[in-house]
Amino acid sequence: MYLCCFNLSAAAGMDKAGINLAAANKNLLTLYSDMDTEEKVKFYNSWAENYEKHMSVMDYQAPSHGVDTINSVYSDDRSSALVFDVPCGTGKVADLMLKLGFKNFHGMDGSEEMLKISKSKGLYQNLIHCLITGDKQLPVKEGTYNVVMVVGGIAQQHLPWEILPELLRITKTGGLICLTLRAEVSDHRSKLFASIQELLKKGLWEEIVKRHIEKWQKDMLLTGVSEEYTDGFVYVFRKK
């Protein structure tokens, strides 16, 4: 009976958690493909319901790494701190930070269906539907947030590298900005690092953490998720 059940599961392409591996691989391949903004929004709207399950197939741990890093350096009162989560997706970052004493969260995302899932969890006091581009100001007042969390969005090139000055603008003086990045070589990443260095040279922020993490997540091949892992980084900057 055990062998029969195992074979049926394997034939159906299901893992031990009941996740459809074929569907997960298809969506993960799409995630790392080139898409324009409209295509990305449609993709996330269609994927929202299965997003967390499918991301688990590649052992995606960026939210945990980002939150753990902030936890290690944040020394102010957490119960009164206001956290901005962008893109907030299905609310994983806020869920993890809530367990560490943070209570106040605002989220922003371009996908209405992802925001619906975040809203259903009751974690955010304010959720903003916004398509973020490098040439438009975010609909947020200057100096609003104590902590800005950018988990995965820049690494997957969903947020433009030009957004860094805007993140600084909406952060309070002395506030922290956390970026999580999958290790990669690309034109987008080169421009992002150049922007980071420019802001450092101008004295607008200071780097307080650069954390290299091995086995960040399973690598993506042209055929789908690999069993090999890629590295990643967590950066934390303080606005001056």
pLDDT tens-digit map of 14-30:
665 789 999 999 999 99
How many whole angstroms separate alpha carbon 213 and alpha carbon 81?
A: 27
The answer to whether the pTM exceeds 0.85 is yes
Tell me the C-alpha to C-alpha distance, in Å, between residue 224 and each of 9, 31, 86, 135, 161.
Answer: 19, 11, 26, 34, 26
How many whole angstroms separate alpha carbon 227 and alpha carbon 218?
A: 6
Residues pairing with 147 in the sheet: 83, 176
pLDDT tens-digit map of 210-229:
999 999 999 988 888 999 99
pLDDT at 68: 98
What are the E-state strand segments in the chain?
82-85, 104-109, 126-129, 145-151, 171-182, 205-221, 224-239
pLDDT tens-digit map of 146-162:
999 999 888 766 888 99
Instruction: Give phi and psi for 24, each to the nearest 5.
Output: -60, -45
Q: Per-residue pLDDT for the chain (240 aa), expressed as one digit of tens each?
A: 333 333 323 334 666 578 999 999 999 999 888 888 889 999 999 999 999 999 999 999 999 999 999 999 999 999 999 999 999 999 999 999 999 999 999 999 999 999 999 999 999 999 999 988 877 899 999 999 999 999 988 876 688 899 999 999 999 999 999 999 999 888 989 999 999 999 999 999 999 999 999 999 999 888 889 999 999 999 999 999
